Copies of this chain bind each other. A is one copy, B any other.
């Protein structure tokens, strides 16, 4: 069962820290059998290192990955609506049924209205699933924290997919975002992302007060995802 969070006493459904969360996006290198390979590698590295590693595949790969692996599997997006007459939507109910651990919400490539972010967070919480709300700066991180998700994941848009790590290029934004989130809620954990590619980036992020990282291309597009994953957890 991949939903680590279900038995926690609290109501926010976080994972053990630190968390390395890998977004497979719609990359060809992260779809179908390649998604299975990355999930399998992630599980091996998680077991070796004791670090929590989650994977967010496409909707289509969600169900098989949840059933084949014990690591937490996330959706890339979830709608806040209840089951019903909604075409082309992903409900929290369907995620729960598929065995998912939670979902990203409001990723830079899938922005939502404030009202919809709130609805998605509440829908996940009502199913005891883990909500990771992505944000673009300090202000929106504080705003997202007010919705009581498990995680806020701050990703400066100009660094996403840039190959330049946020933890090196802009450690101040991480620090200020952690502080901004803490002022609103001490229960909400913080991830950071954008350009994360090595164990050193991860260590800086954790030292700055975050609970882990959200990353994508450096794992998914690597010919050796196992090498990258082992490096990512190496300094924790």
Contact = CB atoms under 8 A, between A and B. Distances in A.
A202 interface: no
Given A87-B76, A109-B87, A146-B145, A93 B136 contact: no
Interface stretch (A10-18, A26-34, A167-175): A26-34
B85 A109 contact: yes
Most B CB contacts (10 A, CB to CB) among A23, A27, A77, A89 go to A89
Nearest to A61: B63
A48 to B, nearest CB: 28
A113 B111 contact: yes
Contacts of A91: 26
A115 B140 contact: yes
Contacts of A114: 106, 111-114, 117, 135, 140, 143-144
A153 to B, nearest CB: 12
B25 A86 contact: yes
A137 interface: yes
Contacts of A61: 63
Given A111-B114, A184-B146, A81 B140 contact: no
A71 interface: no
A112 B117 CA distance: 11
Interface string A75-92: 111000101111111110
Given A26-B85, A87-B76, A104-B88, A144 B143 contact: yes
A131 interface: no
Given A62-B60, A114-B113, A86 B26 contact: yes
Most B CB contacts (10 A, CB to CB) among A85, A116, A144 go to A85
14 contacts: A26-B83, A26-B93, A31-B97, A59-B90, A60-B60, A60-B94, A85-B217, A87-B104, A87-B110, A88-B107, A111-B114, A113-B114, A118-B136, A145-B146
Given A26-B89, A60-B62, 18 more contacts: A23-B87, A26-B87, A26-B91, A59-B90, A60-B90, A60-B94, A60-B98, A77-B88, A85-B216, A88-B109, A88-B110, A89-B109, A89-B110, A114-B135, A114-B143, A118-B140, A139-B148, A142-B184
